[in-house]
Structure 1
Amino acid sequence: MGRGLFSCFKKQTPDNTAATSNEPSLASGGPIIVELFSSQGCATSPEAELLFSRLGRGDFKLEVGVILMGYHVDYWDYNGWKDPFGSAQWTVRQKDYVESLCLDTMFTPQVVVQGRKQIVGNDEDGLIAEIVNAPRFPPPSFQATFERPTPESLKVFLNGTFRAKSDGQGADIMVALYESGLVTDCQGGDNKGRMLVNDFVVRKLAKLCSVNNQPPKKMITGTLDFGLWQGFNSSKCGLVLFVQQHGSRHIFGSQRIQLPANI
């Protein structure tokens, strides 16, 4: 397991008190968000990536739906191989979890489930247990339409409701654009000589809007513009819309949106 240093200064709120009385009902259980932080420069990340892909294929026959998002951090890029999908933005996202979960180090591979629990990313039994035991919330109900204003951009029009009552802490409605089926011939670092396969890799992440004390059935509309990368293929990509609480960073609602194959 690769590790980096990061001190945690924020006191963690115990799980049994973190949710306010206005946290959304668990009655209509939606899918569970599973986030993997990894790097092609980390020797133990490929094992976690394989587990992640198997989870996405449904190999474990879970009775709960999962939505996967993989973030490639950039702090292993010094170690002989620059991850082509690595980004400082994803390192910052992991640091935010380090703080909210009151950890004292950053490491890869790491999995965060519903923004609430974390585990080593290649611990199969532990990961399945965290998914099965994670709280579930009503999924948002958004419709999306798409345009390609230029070959290098994708415009997404969204409208719908997030079906959960936000409390005084407020929350962000976030949208991630991910890509699967990525294969890299790694020519340096700890994984030199290996063909690395990565699925559900987040390429773009944007905030649709913030909500606070908003009625759950109120219609929300918005537009996002995503810059696209060379070789973009919509058939390998998808969108994830999720609601993430301010402060605690708990996720309480998520939805996967398929991209048109011919966009």
Structure 2
Amino acid sequence: MFRQKTMHQTPKKQHRHDIDRGRRVVGDKKGAILVELFASQGCKTSPEAELLISRLGRGDFNLGQPIIILGFHVDYWDYMGWKDPFGSSQWTVRQKDYVESLKLDTMFTPQVVVQGRTQCVGNEEENVIGNIKSATVFSAPNFQANFQKTEPDTLQVSLSGSLRMKIDNQGANIMVALYENGLVTDCPNGENKGRVLSSDFVVRKLEKLTSVKDISAKKNISGTLNFPLWDSFNSTKCGLALFVQNNSHQIFGCQKFDLPGNL
């Protein structure tokens, strides 16, 4: 079942070494493609897309290019009888931005957006893979990340590096997403009543590191973010993605980091 909502105007081995009380991680430097899934546990066809995304993340397909996956659970199907525990109005707004920038008429789930430039129905395997294989690839940003738990419920991430591409006077935002894998939910109500739903790459937090404008490819950029953590936080199930996005919502490079297991 295809769920649609009308728009309203309203692997490389990671190299690590100890530093202070945290862990510094060097991300994968090979250019990757950012794949975003917009889904909901209140949508009957979203679990099929979640399975496809998990398979993509495991490397089940010969894509010829590394990918970074982020799953955003929207909240506009919560009224259908089941409130998605990972749903957020923030992710609904993000999807709406894509609907506008890609000149679409509707918001729907499941939807896959590739590099902020193309989109398709998220459970259509051939179209998802086709969009990934035809996507424009950019050099990965060259950042290092230092992770520390400054408080029991706070993860501090310090990032430093360069974008490896020039940013013109139109500017861009450097965004950082904290995501979680291996989530399992019993769904007693709604369109997926009685099912056990599995999800990977679920975005739990998304923050802007900084905005940049008129900078060279080698310009050093640094900043620190503090992520509030959830009760079941387990660093071995989580990852961090850094990506560059312009004001037209197009992606110009991304990089990912595994979280140290000792946090």
- Specify the alignment match of 2:225 in structure 1: 224
Shift of 1:146: 1.1
- Specify the alignment match of 2:255 in structure 1: 255
* Superposition TM-score, scaled by structure 2 size: 0.91
Distance 1:201 1:129 in 2: 23
Counterpart residue identity of residue 59, structure 1: D
- Specify the alignment match of 2:161 in structure 1: 160
Moved over 6 A (4+): none
- Specify the alignment match of 1:82 in structure 2: 83
The number of residue pairs the alignment matches comes to 244
Counterpart residue identity of residue 174, structure 1: M
Deviations along 1:143-199, one digit per CA (max 9) or x if unpaired, are 011111111110001100011111221100000000000000001000000000000
Distance 1:7 1:131 in 2: 29
* Superposition TM-score, scaled by structure 1 size: 0.91
Counterpart residue identity of residue 249, structure 1: H
Contact 1:29 1:136 survives alignment (8 Å)? no
Secondary structure of the corresponding residue to residue 78 of structure 1: helix
Deviations along 1:35-92, one digit per CA (max 9) or x if unpaired, are 0000000000000000000000000022100000000000000000000000000000
- Specify the alignment match of 1:188 in structure 2: 189
Shift of 1:29: 6.8
Counterpart residue identity of residue 245, structure 2: Q
Q: Please tell me whether residue 33 in structure 1 is matched to residue 43 in structure 2.
A: no
Summarize the alignment of residues 11-90 of structure 1 with structure 2, pairs less than 5 Å apart.
30-90=31-91
Distance 1:188 1:262 in 2: 37
Summarize the alignment of residues 126-145 of structure 1 with structure 2, pairs less than 5 Å apart.
126-145=127-146
Distance 2:72 2:63 in 1: 23
Distance 1:167 1:96 in 2: 22
User: 1:29–1:147: structure 2 CA closer, same or farther, 3 Å change rule?
Assistant: closer
Deviations along 1:188-236, one digit per CA (max 9) or x if unpaired, are 0000000000000000000000011111101101000000001100000
RMSD over aligned CA atoms reads 1.3
- Specify the alignment match of 2:172 in structure 1: 171
Deviations along 1:5-43, one digit per CA (max 9) or x if unpaired, are 1158xxxxxxxxxxxxxxxxxxx9711000000000000
Contact 1:7 1:104 survives alignment (8 Å)? no
- Specify the alignment match of 2:13 in structure 1: none
Q: Which runs of 5+ in 1 are unaligned?
A: 9-27
- Specify the alignment match of 1:206 in structure 2: 207
Q: Which runs of 5+ in 2 are unaligned?
A: 10-28
Distance 2:129 2:78 in 1: 30
More strand by share: 2
Q: Please tell me whether residue 102 in structure 1 is matched to residue 117 in structure 2.
A: no
Q: Calculate percent identity across the aligned residue pairs.
A: 63
